Amino acid sequence: DVKVTQSSRYLVKRTGEKVFLECVQDMDHENMFWYRQDPGLGLRLIYFSYDVKMKEKGDIPEGYSVSREKKERFSLILESASTNQTSMYLCASNTGGSSYEQYFGPGTRLTVT
């Protein structure tokens, strides 16, 4: 079974803090993705990575950065957290190329106060 794990299920941070969300997959997948999920807005792609050290902006990259130093690990960084970044963050991965299916982690519920 594919397993995508996220470092925290719940996280509470203060405005202005630097926040790291970690994601690890155990299936040697090429692609990894970060989404945020908000009620009524569906899933919005923040960034994705198709190889180690390679990344591309998604639909809403502003205020976020990412890091992929190892194939299995993809980090989402909020340089200076703001209250409008309070959300559910979902990590996903897939084998890349013509692969259709994305495998999701359980999500991290981030609250910025």
Partner 1 sequence: QQQVKQSPQSLIVQKGGISIINCAYENTAFDYFPWYQQFPGKGPALLIAIRPDVSEKKEGRFTISFNKSAKQFSLHIMDSQPGDSATYFCAASRRAGNNRKLIWGLGTSLAVNP
**Can you give the binding site for partner 1, defined by CB under 8 A?**
4, 31, 40-44, 50, 90-92, 96-107
Q: How far is CA 39 from CA 24, 34, 43, 44, 80, in A?
A: 25, 17, 9, 11, 23
Q: How far is the CB of 109 from partner 1 (least distance, A)?
A: 9
Q: How far is the CB of 102 from partner 1 (least distance, A)?
A: 7
Task: For residue 52, count other CB atoms closer than 10 A to its CB.
Answer: 13
| Shorter beta-carbon distance to partner 1: residue 44 or 80 | 44
Q: How far is the CB of 81 from partner 1 (least distance, A)?
A: 22
CB 89 within 8 A of CB 78: no
| Shorter beta-carbon distance to partner 1: residue 5 or 82 | 5
Q: How far is the CB of 100 from partner 1 (least distance, A)?
A: 5
Rounded Cα–Cα distance for residues 10 and 58 (Å): 24
Cα distance from N-terminal residue to C-terminal residue, the chain: 37
| Shorter beta-carbon distance to partner 1: residue 62 or 97 | 97
